[in-house]
Amino acid sequence: MIAVLDTLVAVRRAAMDLLARREHGRVELTRKLRQRGASPEMIDTALDRLTEEGLLSESRYLESFISYRARSGYGPMRIREELGQRGLQRVDIEQALRECGVDWQEQLRDVWQRKFSGQLPADARERAKQGRFLVYRGYSMDMINRLLSRRSLDD
């Protein structure tokens, strides 16, 4: 059973325990602390203090999340949507995606190579299948069409 967080020290300790495991965004941390029974006032106070001390950072969270999801083969559209669902500001997300240093076209090529073993689509049905998979992973149709068209021309 999880103890109710009824003091500022307990809320801070719980927040630091969560942050020790991995980076969290403020919205996500607030939700987790609320689930543990902390009051909104104590959560705000504790998180403000952690932010002042540099222990809670939205920019670090964005950088960590984007890096992790990109290494997992997800594209910018999927990552943008996931971060939006986590309550982060669209402006901050866009800036973090621009500054992350990921070559999304190269990433797309790697994902395509792993999934389809570099086999170009033989017909429209196979091309649609490959396209659906890559769109689901978060790549734009423009990027996908460039990849598949260039590959078709190279052969």
Domain 59-99 has CATH 2.60.40: no
Say which CATH class 8-56 falls into: mainly alpha
Instruction: State pLDDT tens for residues 119-149.
Output: 888 889 999 999 999 999 999 999 999 998 8
Would the CATH topology of 8-56 be identical to that of 59-99? yes
Q: State the chain's mean pLDDT as an integer.
A: 91
Span 89-124, pLDDT tens digits: 999 999 999 999 999 999 999 999 999 998 888 889
Percent pLDDT > 90 in the chain is 85
For residue 109, the model assigns a pLDDT of 95
pLDDT at 3 > cutoff 70: no
Domain boundaries, the chain: 8-56, 59-99, 104-154
Residues 6+ apart with CB under 8 A from 140: 75, 76, 77
